[in-house]
Amino acid sequence: MVYPVPVGTPGPLIAFIGTNGNVVALLLGIVDLALSVVIYLPFMRLAETIAQAAQAQVGGAKHV
């Protein structure tokens, strides 16, 4: 990082701003964010399935 980055800057923009607008840094940040989401999605789907199964077993209200 060559330039200071303001506190509260979103993660994918930190490298872009810190390198004075390097487009490659921005693209890498976007790719990293997309990869993180792709890795995280199966776990969220599994958690939703487990929650719905538990509610159906107990007879509780449906999850919206």
**Which tens digit of pLDDT belongs to each residue from 44-56?**
999 999 999 999 8
CA–CA dist 14, 24 (Å, integer) = 13
> 30: closest CA among 15, 41, 49, 48?
15
Q: What is the mean pLDDT of residues 11-40?
A: 92
Amino acid at the residue 44: M
Q: Is the pLDDT of residue 62 over 70?
A: no
10-19 tens-digit pLDDT: 988 888 999 9
Q: How far is CA 14 from the centre of its chain?
A: 15
- Joined tokens for residue 19: 């390198």
Q: Is the pLDDT of residue 63 over 70?
A: no
What's the pLDDT at 23? 94
